[in-house]
Amino acid sequence: MTIEQSVEQSMDPRLQANEEAIAHLTKTVDELSEVVARQQREIDVLTRRVAMLMQREAERETEGGGTIPLADQRPPHW
């Protein structure tokens, strides 16, 4: 057995361990990417809903008597 063959055999378990670790990390990254994409879709939906609710409330406040919108009023302790 040559020195090169001996080095190859001793590196083989380490190489295999590294390849397994890379495969595991790649799978984890893919799973996390899916989670982030799903969360972004949920954030987009919620952002649209909040904007819609804010618009509805602003319309209701202006229709309710022409007063200053509640968001623009000073709190009573000022």
Q: Give the domain ranges of the chain.
A: 18-59
Task: Name the strand (E) or helix (H) holding 1.
Answer: none
Instruction: Collect all residues with Cβ–Cβ distance below 8 Å to 67 and sequence separation of at least 6.
Output: 61
Residue 30: CB atoms within 10 A of its CB come to 10
Instruction: Collect all residues with Cβ–Cβ distance below 8 Å to 73 and sequence separation of at least 6.
Output: none
- The pLDDT value recorded for residue 58 is 86
- The pLDDT value recorded for residue 30 is 98
Q: Could you give the CA distance from residue 11 to residue 59 in angstroms, rounded to a whole number?
A: 71
pLDDT digits (tens, 9 = 90+) for 35-50: 999 999 999 999 999 9
Write out residues in the chain with pLDDT < 70, as ranges.
1, 4-10, 65-73, 78
